[in-house]
């Protein structure tokens, strides 16, 4: 008889839903499993104010399948020009839960990002006062800094200062990839937490580079060495409330990934929960999945736990090789490979 587990319905605390035809594919894939998702604001142009957030919220909602309870949680894209007044207006809009700090040019569509974190002290103070969380893409962007060292450099240069200067501001260190980041979060106050993606738990940089470059495993922050991967596995296995599910699912068309300059992002939405169940089971900590996926995130964001439940069955199945988007396709993360858990319809 197949093994089953039933957990509270999970949420995705870091996801890219894009816009247009890609959004029409990504939103139903996410809504099929997750009750809520923190929608990243790095569109073209970015979501920088309350009006942008409300408009994007409506576009996402228009793609939610009938009968689904899925609710997008909106974020603002911080720029050097983000003011305290913009934070107050975002809070009053009612749909904005957080602001995303992208160092300028750190990742996809981040050219408008922050060039000087120190200039945002008044904005951070307003976020603290309004209960708006700060979500941080923690990498420096100078070209002379080794790409594998950029997360640690950001911690040393910026993250320690942001946390020290804003002790009452809730901060999520997004998609952490290193033992340095995990240790930083563990040693920080209860107001600092982190999301961890399926790819950074399941893969290391060998899975990107050995035997030829695997463009569909290329993401930012980039996959790190196996010792960092093992540290991330260790912290989720502890069941610590400081770590929770954030897929960083980032759909890109196959043509954009398989090019002379392939873009960064792994599209995990078609089987996000199954990917986590697969690795948690491999690590012998499947009992910690509910906390990571369904409990720790709402607690940190100050939101209620979802009432509904979802059941997974231990049953091998194969991730599709591609997902159709109009006349083009997206290659999902773990494409063509066998997963050991399946969400029960």
Q: Is 264 annotated for ligand binding?
A: yes
What count of Cα atoms within 13 Å lies in the side-chain half-sphere of residue 164? 9
Pick from 104, 101, 109: which is nearest to 127 by CA?
101
Q: Is 248 annotated for ligand binding?
A: yes
- DSSP line for 198-222: HHHHH--THHHHTTS--GGG--SSP
Helices marked H in 291-341 — which ranges? 296-301
Q: Is 16 annotated for ligand binding?
A: yes
Is residue 340 within 8 A of residue 31, CB to CB? The reply is no
Q: Is 150 annotated for ligand binding?
A: no
Residue 80 annotated as catalytic? no
**Cα separation, 27 vs 60, whole angstroms:** 7
Q: Is 220 annotated for ligand binding?
A: yes
| Residues whose CB is less than 8 angstroms from the CB of residue 67 and which lie 6 or more positions away in sequence, other chains included | none
Q: Is 296 annotated for ligand binding?
A: no
Q: Where are the beta strands (DSSP E) in 132-219?
A: 133-136, 171-173, 192-196
Q: Is 42 annotated for ligand binding?
A: yes
Bond from prior residue into 221 cis (ω within 30 degrees of 0) = yes
Q: Count Cβ neighbours within 10 Å for each residue of 144-166 and write b for 16 or more, e otherwise.
A: eeeebebbbbbbeebbeebbeeb
Q: Is 242 annotated for ligand binding?
A: no
Is residue 276 within 8 A of residue 11, CB to CB? The reply is no
**Cα separation, 51 vs 64, whole angstroms:** 20
Q: Is 100 annotated for ligand binding?
A: yes
Catalytic pick from 19, 248, 281, 287?
248
Long-range contacts (CB closer than 8 Å, 24 or more residues apart) made by 89-96: 89/49, 89/50, 90/49, 90/50, 90/53, 90/130, 90/132, 91/130, 91/131, 91/132, 92/50, 93/50, 93/53, 93/54, 95/53, 95/54, 95/57, 96/50, 96/53, 96/132
Q: Is 254 annotated for ligand binding?
A: no
What count of Cα atoms within 13 Å lies in the side-chain half-sphere of residue 53? 27
Catalytic residues: 248
Sequence ranges of the binding site: 14, 16-18, 42, 100, 137, 175, 220, 248, 252, 264
Binding-site residue ranges for substrate: 16-18, 42, 137, 220, 252, 264
Indicate the annotated binding residues for Zn(2+).
14, 16, 100, 137, 175, 248
């Amino acid at each position: 008889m197949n093994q089953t587990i039933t957990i509270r319905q999970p949420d995705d605390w870091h996801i890219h839903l894009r816009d247009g035809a890609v959004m029409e594919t990504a939103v139903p894939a996410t809504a099929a499993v997750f009750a809520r998702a923190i929608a990243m604001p790095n569109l073209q142009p970015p979501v920088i104010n309350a009006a942008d957030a409300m408009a994007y919220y409506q576009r996402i909602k228009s793609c939610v399948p009938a009968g689904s309870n899925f609710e997008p949680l909106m974020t603002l894209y911080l720029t050097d020009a983000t003011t305290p007044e913009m934070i107050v207006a975002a809070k009053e809009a009612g749909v904005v839960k957080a602001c995303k700090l992208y160092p300028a040019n750190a990742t996809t569509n981040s050219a408008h990002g922050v060039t000087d974190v120190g200039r945002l002290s008044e904005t951070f103070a307003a976020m603290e006062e309004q209960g708006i969380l700060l979500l941080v893409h923690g990498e420096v962007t100078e070209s002379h800094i080794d790409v594998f060292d950029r997360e640690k450099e950001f911690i040393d240069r910026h993250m320690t200062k942001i946390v020290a200067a804003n002790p009452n501001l809730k901060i999520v260190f997004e998609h952490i990839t290193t033992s340095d980041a995990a240790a930083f979060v563990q040693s920080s106050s209860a107001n600092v937490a982190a999301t961890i993606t399926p790819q950074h738990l399941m893969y290391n940089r060998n899975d990107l580079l050995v035997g030829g470059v695997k463009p569909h495993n290329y993401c930012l922050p980039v996959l790190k060495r196996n010792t960092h991967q093992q540290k991330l596995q260790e912290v989720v296995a502890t069941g610590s409330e400081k770590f929770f599910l954030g897929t960083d699912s980032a759909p890109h068309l196959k043509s954009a990934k398989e090019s002379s300059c392939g873009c960064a992002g792994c599209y995990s939405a078609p089987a996000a929960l199954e990917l986590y169940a697969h690795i948690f089971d491999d690590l012998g900590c499947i009992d910690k999945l509910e906390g990571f996926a369904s409990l720790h995130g709402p607690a940190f964001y100050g939101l209620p736990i979802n009432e509904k439940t979802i059941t997974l069955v231990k049953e091998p199945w194969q991730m599709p090789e591609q997902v159709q988007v109009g006349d083009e396709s997206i290659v999902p993360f773990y494409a063509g490979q066998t997963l050991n858990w399946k969400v029960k319809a």
